[in-house]
Amino acid sequence: MTIYSCSFAVGTKTTEVAPKSRELEGHEYQLLLVQVPGGKGNRGSDFKFDDQRYNKGRVIFVGEGKSAIRLYNSDEVGGFCEEEGGIDAGDYGVVDCDATDSMGFNNDVYDGKGASFCLPDPFPNTNSEGSTEMAAYRIDARVVGKPGGVASIALCADIEEENLDDYCGVEAVLTTSNKGFTDVSQELLTIAVCDGQNTKTKSYGLFDDELSGEYWEYDITNPGVKVAQLRFYITDSGVTRNGAQCPTR
């Protein structure tokens, strides 16, 4: 039996993820999205998670196709991250590493399941559409695996004032042929609402009051992707809410 834990696991060998280091190639935090062959629902007794979901891990296991990573604001005192995950204020951490239970999205419709990930509010000083505040950190990403592998990731949320449920913004497309990291901050931290002529009418930042139920939709669109690496840098990102683009999907 292969046992998967919130530490990085390959086969039956488990290697604990290194503790947080600000010296690790200059980034503040690295999150790994590890693809599980076949998906939890198809492997029966051959697939098992050990119960290590509250260890501030750095790994999330995803299925084939679409997976959801639910997002929570670690800046909230006494909020989900602190109470359920023991995540320090303003820090990053995985609370639930299992995103395979959202595999397939129940006929392509998000059912509320998925992994849980805590991260700081990227726009801590303002909470309004149209603000020119720059995001407090940057996210770079890449995927590794076999040639031809393609994955996408996008920010999704409910936007009550627009009567939109599970609305997703522009997706960042990542390929295994690109060995370097791509800046995906705009796609993962902002979201735009557009009219029928694809003209932007509103733009929001992650954790704005108008949004709820935020998650990243991660989709392996072409087989071959094994791992996605997301790196978080505390730096001026150049990303603002107004920079959000209209989704083309």
What does the block give as tokens for 11? 């086969």
Q: pTM here?
A: 0.84
- How far the first Cα of the chain sits from its last, in Å, is 39
What are the distances in angstroms from CA 62 to CA 6, 38, 136?
Answer: 12, 10, 27
More confident residue, 235 or 17: 235
230 in Cβ contact with 140 (< 8 Å) = yes
Amino acid making up residue 228: A
For residue 196, the model assigns a pLDDT of 84
115 in Cβ contact with 57 (< 8 Å) = no
44 pLDDT above the threshold of 60: no
11-15, 44-48, 225-229, range with the lowest pLDDT: 11-15
What are the distances in angstroms from CA 165 to CA 22, 84, 128, 130, 135?
Answer: 37, 25, 20, 21, 24
For residue 109, the model assigns a pLDDT of 67
120 in Cβ contact with 73 (< 8 Å) = yes
**pLDDT, mean of residues 148-166:** 95
